[in-house]
């Protein structure tokens, strides 16, 4: 998955704007133009713990929600299968993070749009009622009695209604329209089902005078994220590791096939017996859900930097050395991706997500010669799509960053009137 565009509404200085992204995109403009607001919007979209305050709403208008919509282009086979219901024309899929102010804090949800029949809305709303599905079944029966929906199957349980409606929509997509979903499908690791985080990973390097934040060894820091990507890529190309992963997945699948269904049937019988002691007409049914991919844990490496023979923690070194180390990680990542042994489908779907790098003022703390090298490195990272690696780099600066060759920067100009 790669990002096609980002649309931001009611966030900080941005009332309603869209930026289309290339593999390398630069926002160039003076202070106060709103460059950092776009980067911050990306960070919020990808954040598991979103910190948003009244001052983050445009003109402090908390009566309207903040909306951050990222439109992805779906590339891999497994992603297309997973997001099938949400993909529109040209393999594009939009996901909106809606952030509302609730008086003392915010509520947030991710929603997508998929082909749905508006006639089914009342039935779906009834499924959330606490009446054991009586209202939903009544509405469903009324739908089925009409000539247009008489192909809907008979149902006896509340749980079968949603599945039947979705199957009808899938088979009659030409009679449906794109409507927002219920916000339960999308999310990242630890949020909803974590599907987006499986295919894309954000690494953000802010422009801050105290660079210890970006270089710390905290789990969410730029250093830890880049180290994680480099270590993953290094291990990913090991024939022994790939062979072990395949062997573990196969053995687990064989074990489930051999013993799992018998044990599930035994558990179903036992639970039904116990339940019947309370409600004689009740029973229990257990069905296996799709088994998730098994991933081997990636080892973590402790990082210390040395200069003139003295080694210490990253946060205790100079800002220039810290960013030089970040550049080094970028360079190694580019080399590993270019020399990868994996086929594109393996690279995208089994091990590594596509990387989105956000950099605010990448020229900070760097000697001019190092700036020039860094600019070429960013271009290389963004341009090399060998082996299915689709890196995207999005940075903002006050001027063209060392006149990057072949870079087509996106200029962001502030509106004539800024309320």
Backbone angles phi, psi at 67, to 5 degrees: -125, 120
Are residues 73 and 83 in contact, defined by beta-carbon separation less than 8 angstroms? no
In a domain, 1, yes or no: no
Say whether pLDDT at 362 is over 60. yes
More confident residue, 1 or 99: 99
Same domain, 325 and 399: yes
Same domain, 352 and 209: yes
Residue 147: domain span? 118-175
In a domain, 390, yes or no: yes
Same domain, 322 and 220: yes
In a domain, 109, yes or no: no
In a domain, 61, yes or no: no
Which pTM was predicted?
Answer: 0.68
Say whether pLDDT at 403 is over 80. no
Same domain, 324 and 365: yes
More confident residue, 339 or 45: 45
In a domain, 379, yes or no: yes
In a domain, 258, yes or no: no
- Residues for the chain: how many in total? 419
Closest CA to 191 of 182, 202, 183: 183
Lowest pLDDT segment from 84-93, 353-362, 378-387: 378-387
Same domain, 308 and 171: no
Same domain, 316 and 379: yes
More confident residue, 159 or 341: 159
Buried b (16+ CB within 10 A) or exposed e, 85-116: bbbeeeeebbbbbbbbbeeeebebbbbbbbbb
In a domain, 318, yes or no: yes
Q: Where are the alpha helices (DSSP H) in 134-238?
A: 134-144, 159-171, 196-199, 212-215, 222-236
Same domain, 377 and 327: yes
Same domain, 401 and 331: yes
Are residues 236 and 340 in contact, defined by beta-carbon separation less than 8 angstroms? yes
Say whether pLDDT at 389 is over 90. no
Q: What is the DSSP letter of 396?
A: E
The domain tally of the chain equals 2
In a domain, 41, yes or no: no
Same domain, 339 and 391: yes
Query: Which pLDDT tens digit goes with each residue over 267-293?
Result: 888 888 988 888 888 888 887 666 666
């Amino acid at each position: 998955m790669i990002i096609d565009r980002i649309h931001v509404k009611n966030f900080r200085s941005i009332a309603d704007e869209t930026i289309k992204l290339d593999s390398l995109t630069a926002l160039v403009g003076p202070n106060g133009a709103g460059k950092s607001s776009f980067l911050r919007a990306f960070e919020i979209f990808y954040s598991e713990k979103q910190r948003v305050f009244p001052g983050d709403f445009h003109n402090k208008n908390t009566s309207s929600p903040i909306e951050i919509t990222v439109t992805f282009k779906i590339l891999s086979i497994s992603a297309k299968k997973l997001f099938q219901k949400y993909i529109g024309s040209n393999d594009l899929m939009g996901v909106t993070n809606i952030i509302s102010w609730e008086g003392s804090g915010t509520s947030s949800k991710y929603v997508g749009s998929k082909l749905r029949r508006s006639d089914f809305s009342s039935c779906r709303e009834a499924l959330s009622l606490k009446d054991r599905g009586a209202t939903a079944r009544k509405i469903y029966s009324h739908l089925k009695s009409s000539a247009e929906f008489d192909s809907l199957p008979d149902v006896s349980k509340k749980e079968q209604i949603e599945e039947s409606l979705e199957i009808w929509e899938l088979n009659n997509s030409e009679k449906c329209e794109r409507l927002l979903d219920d916000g339960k499908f999308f999310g990242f690791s630890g949020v909803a089902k974590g599907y987006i985080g499986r295919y894309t990973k954000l690494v953000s390097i802010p422009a801050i005078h105290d660079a210890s934040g970006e270089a710390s060894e905290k789990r969410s820091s730029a250093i830890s994220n880049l180290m994680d990507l480099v270590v993953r890529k290094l291990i990913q190309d090991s024939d022994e590791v790939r062979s072990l992963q395949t062997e573990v997945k196969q053995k687990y699948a064989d074990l489930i096939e051999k013993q799992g269904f018998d044990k599930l049937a035994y558990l179903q019988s036992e639970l039904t017996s116990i339940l019947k002691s309370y409600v004689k007409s009740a029973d229990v049914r257990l069905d296996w859900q799709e088994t998730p991919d098994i991933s081997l844990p990636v080892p973590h490496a402790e990082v210390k930097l040395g200069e003139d023979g003295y080694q210490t923690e990253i946060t205790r070194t100079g800002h220039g050395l810290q960013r030089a180390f970040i550049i080094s990680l970028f360079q190694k990542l580019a080399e590993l991706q270019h020399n990868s042994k994996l086929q594109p489908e393996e690279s995208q779907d089994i091990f590594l997500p596509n990387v989105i790098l956000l950099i605010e003022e990448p020229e900070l703390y760097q000697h001019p010669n190092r700036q020039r090298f860094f600019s070429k490195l960013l271009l290389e990272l963004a341009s090399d799509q060998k082996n299915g690696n689709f890196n995207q780099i999005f940075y903002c600066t006050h001027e063209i960053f060392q006149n990057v060759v072949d870079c087509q920067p996106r200029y962001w100009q502030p509106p004539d009137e800024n309320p």
